[in-house]
Structure 1
Amino acid sequence: MIRTIIIDDEPLAAGIVQEFLAEFSQFQVLEVCQDGFQGLKAIQQHKPDLIFLDVQMPKITGFEMLELLDEPPAVIFTTAFDQYALKAFDAKAMDYLLKPFSQARFKQAIDRFLESRMEGKESERPNADLHHFAEKSNRLVVRVKNDIKIISVQDVNFFEAEDDYVTIHTAGGKFLKKMTMKTLEESLDAGKFARVHRSYIINLNGITGIEPYERDTYLVKLKGGEKLPVSKTGYARLRQVLGL
């Protein structure tokens, strides 16, 4: 049996997926979830082969939920918003069903999944980094042990690169999120955040001063007392955004 979970805050839409899926005897629906929190818990508990995932849901979006999974299952997105299609396929979704979709269109998505499964295309699993082509973010969702924390970007003092992760430094503590500095930088408002070094992105509102350090480099001082290195390129960027 192919183990499946449906995650959609609209009961009618979830019911349609269940109805259409009932035509395929090899699929077993393990659980139907109404938001990303429930979906995350169900995925961690059941380890499904495939999920049907809405994008816009209460609490956290479908994309944010996927970011919290170390090994996401195969995904077929179901949504009423076509502007997320590019991001969905960049995340290597199996398919993207735009509501309201027909039973024939649903069957196409299932056939695509089954074909991929037969061919053993593990590369079709979602990417861990789902921020490419994303709209500017005003929040970050991180997993803290068994809990989920939503952090407003305006509460971030600075970001620090940690291999394949980013450490989010706030007044309330440090939080680790799996993503790259490049995609993080693309998702932030360039008028509020600046990448001053290959390892650091700072909140411009937290700057208290800039001082020379070594040849062609500087240190930026933040409200929390931190002093972070500023590269030559980063200094030029700071001068531009701060009007120095």
Structure 2
Amino acid sequence: MRVLIVDDEQLARMLLREFLAEHADIEIVGECANGFEAVKAIAEHDPDLVFLDIQMPKLDGFEVVELAGSKPHYIFATAYDQFALRAFEVHAIDYLLKPFSRERLAQALAHVRARAPQAAQVEAVVAEAAQRHAPLERILIRDGARVHVVAAASIDYIEAQDDYVQIAAEGKHWLKNQRLSELEGQLDSAAFVRIHRSYIVKVGAIARIEAVSKDNHCAVLHSGARLPISRGSYPKVRERLG
């Protein structure tokens, strides 16, 4: 079994390597100290199993899974039980709560050997954790081998385009493979408002509302963009603007 270790603490990586050395069927193909390194290493080494810390610099464990995909098995390792512990128990292959023993690691490896995970299991962990966590502070967009990190606070609006969303931020536009309704649930509802079935707008980006016809209105943003407001959303938008 080809294994990748991802943890920002060198001591934690050393201890895990020492524990894994007792298992003859384990080959450690690499170690990473942050999320960006992990995404690159997963693509390069194609490991069977990734031991993944959750709180790390640059990208956290959930963001690594989002970008790297669910092809490898994932065992999450964390010192904090508030990270969707129940979700791990129901959906994940396993989790290790630091500090863990040799016996606990052996048990986790036995779980991996005993059953092949479904992609939906890891996706469910990410989805449930996102619901439990604070609103998104950044959005990750994969562009080939590159990863763009867009701060939520910099976003002016988001437009639905079939199975994608187009994110407008700081004069640039980014395409991300995600449904608008899913992203809406992850954003800060105090900062963003759904004005149309195809648009979410940052409240602070709206300069004014203009009437297009008797019953139709549009939001004019500080950037100059003009976005339609649905009849059903109009009262809510007016209220949010005070």
Asked if these proteins are the same fold (TM beyond 0.5), I'd say: yes
Alignment of 1:204-219 (within 5 A): 204-213=203-212, 216-219=215-218
Q: 2: CA distance between counterparts of 1:6 and 1:173?
A: 35
Deviates more, 1:177-186 or 1:76-85: 177-186
Q: 1:137 to 1:123 in 2, by over 3 A?
A: closer
Gap runs ≥5 in structure 1: none
Q: 2: CA distance between counterparts of 1:165 and 1:86?
A: 30
Say whether 1:126 aligns with 2:122.
yes
TM-score computed with the length of structure 1 as normaliser: 0.87
Tell me the equivalent position of 2:37.
Answer: 38
Q: 2: CA distance between counterparts of 1:28 and 1:201?
A: 46
* Deviation for aligned residue 1:146: 2.3
Tell me the equivalent position of 2:142.
Answer: 143
Tell me the equivalent position of 2:201.
Answer: 202
Deviations 1:186-207 (A, max 9, x none): 2222221111112211011111
Give, as a single letter, the amino acid of the residue that structure 1 aligns with 2:193.
Answer: A
Secondary structure of the 2:181 match is helix
Tell me the equivalent position of 2:173.
Answer: 174
Secondary structure of the 2:82 match is helix
* Deviation for aligned residue 1:122: 2.8
Deviations 1:219-244 (A, max 9, x none): 1111222221212332232123222x
Deviates more, 1:130-139 or 1:98-107: 130-139
Tell me the equivalent position of 2:47.
Answer: 48
TM-score computed with the length of structure 2 as normaliser: 0.88
Give, as a single letter, the amino acid of the residue that structure 2 aligns with 1:122.
Answer: Q
Q: 1:114 to 1:124 in 2, by over 3 A?
A: farther
* Deviation for aligned residue 1:163: 2.9
* Deviation for aligned residue 1:53: 0.4
Identity %: 39
Tell me the equivalent position of 1:107.
Answer: 106
Report if aligned partners of 1:95, 1:109 keep a CA contact under 8 Å in 2.
Answer: yes
Secondary structure of the 2:188 match is coil
Give, as a single letter, the amino acid of the residue that structure 1 aligns with 2:161.
Answer: E
Q: 1: CA distance between counterparts of 2:19 and 2:225?
A: 56
Deviates more, 1:3-12 or 1:132-141: 132-141
Report if aligned partners of 2:71, 2:119 keep a CA contact under 8 Å in 1.
Answer: no
Q: 1:83 to 1:183 in 2, by over 3 A?
A: farther
Q: 1:124 to 1:205 in 2, by over 3 A?
A: closer
